[in-house]
Amino acid sequence: MNEEINISSEEKRLRSGEAARAPDFAVQPSYVRTVFLGPEGLRAGWGLAFYVAMFYLLQFVVAQLAGSLKLGASELWPMMLEELGVVVAAAAPSAVLARVEKRPWGVYGLPGREAFGKLFWIGVVWGFASITLLLGAMYGLRVFDAGHLAMHGVRILKFAAFWAVFFLLVGFFEEFLSRGYSQFTLTRAIGFWPSAVVLSCLFGLMHLQNAGEQWPGLLAVAGIGFFFCLTLRRTGSLWFAVGFHAAWDWGETFVYSVPDSGTLFPGHLLKSSFHGPRWLTGGMVGPEGSVLCFVVIAAVWVTFDRVYRDVKYEVAREESLTQRTQGDHRVEL
């Protein structure tokens, strides 16, 4: 009789929704899972660490292959192949991480639907106009002389095409490495503008490896990188920045035939020269080393800010420790 009463009481308790709860440890996610995964998937710190490690590994392989190609070769094509290789090295890890994080690859700054579209060509116009403005100001101050043609005939078209493709690859590589997956992931951790400052400084330091580079040029490169962060913020993609970057370098190296971050490349159009103090001309660093470069950066920043007012780049921040439910012992990198 007592047993029947107990069973009846148990049935009533279950029917009233008062079922026994599982112990806390049974419903908590595993420690390993919480270390690596958060509400938005793979934690930003681990994603960025994996991306950087894989990029440097792939870049090392590319450098070794490029070194073997350059043995006994004086042509520019090995340099082109090396640039293509580092583009792959920058993009491939992000493609892997896109699958891990279950995101479309385009969210990292280069959506395929916008490839070589309106934004890209507007960026090309802005980039070429900006380097023209900078060297035009130097010409007006009589510290830059365009000289005369250094080549003629079909060679002009051949080198114009070569450098256009080469600097397009440079634009893809440097923009995606500095403001693609890295910007997206670091924004998840610390926000857009703090990550923009960090990555723009690193972008400037990347150019330390260029022969003849000096601190004014590094500051200018960092400033241009910070401007590219603004273009990403306002357009929602890197296509404007890629077009601007490629056109600036192409105009600087081929058309106006001046040093680019400390390097004077062969196959340039003009026999141009600088005449004047290094702080004004940039000297062997090139136009990026000139104080006038900062004036141009400021001018394009203000103009772009007024033309493109809407923010189109939004990345959700990771949930912080203080926002988590008590008892959920998750760990954030």
Q: What pLDDT sits at residue 66? A: 82
Residue 226 reports pLDDT greater than 50: yes
25 vs 272 pLDDT, higher one: 272
Residue 25 reports pLDDT greater than 70: no
Residues 182 and 197 sit within 8 Å (Cβ to Cβ): no
Structure tokens at 49: 């660490």
Per-position DSSP letters for 53-88, written without gaps between them: HHHHHHHHHHHHHHHHHHTT--SSHHHHHHHHHHHH
Q: What pLDDT sits at residue 45? A: 86
Mean pLDDT across the stretch 121-129? Answer: 98
Structure tokens at 235: 């357009």
Q: What pLDDT sits at residue 67? A: 78
Per-residue pLDDT tens over the stretch 285-330: 899 999 999 999 999 999 999 999 999 998 877 754 334 433 444 3
Element containing residue 274 per DSSP (H, E):
strand 273-274
26 vs 172 pLDDT, higher one: 172
Per-residue pLDDT tens over the stretch 101-119: 999 999 999 999 999 999 9
Would you tell me how many other CB atoms lie within 10 Å of the CB of residue 214?
17
* Beta-sheet strands, E only, within 110-169: 144-145
Residue 158 reports pLDDT greater than 90: yes
Averaged pLDDT score across all residues of the chain:
86
Name residue 259's amino acid: P
HSE (side-chain half, CA atoms, 13 Å) at 215? 0
Say how far apart CA 23 and CA 154 lie, in whole Å: 79
Mean pLDDT across the stretch 157-175? Answer: 97
24 vs 276 pLDDT, higher one: 276
Per-residue pLDDT tens over the stretch 184-196: 999 999 999 999 9
Q: What pLDDT sits at residue 317? A: 76
Q: What pLDDT sits at residue 113? A: 95
Say how far apart CA 77 and CA 96 lie, in whole Å: 29
**Beta pairing class for 41-42 and 37-38:** antiparallel
Per-residue pLDDT tens over the stretch 41-59: 678 889 999 999 999 999 9
C-alpha pair distances (Å), 218 with each of 136, 138, 243: 22, 20, 21
Per-residue pLDDT tens over the stretch 76-88: 888 999 999 999 9
Say how far apart CA 315 and CA 311 lie, in whole Å: 11
Q: What pLDDT sits at residue 215? A: 83
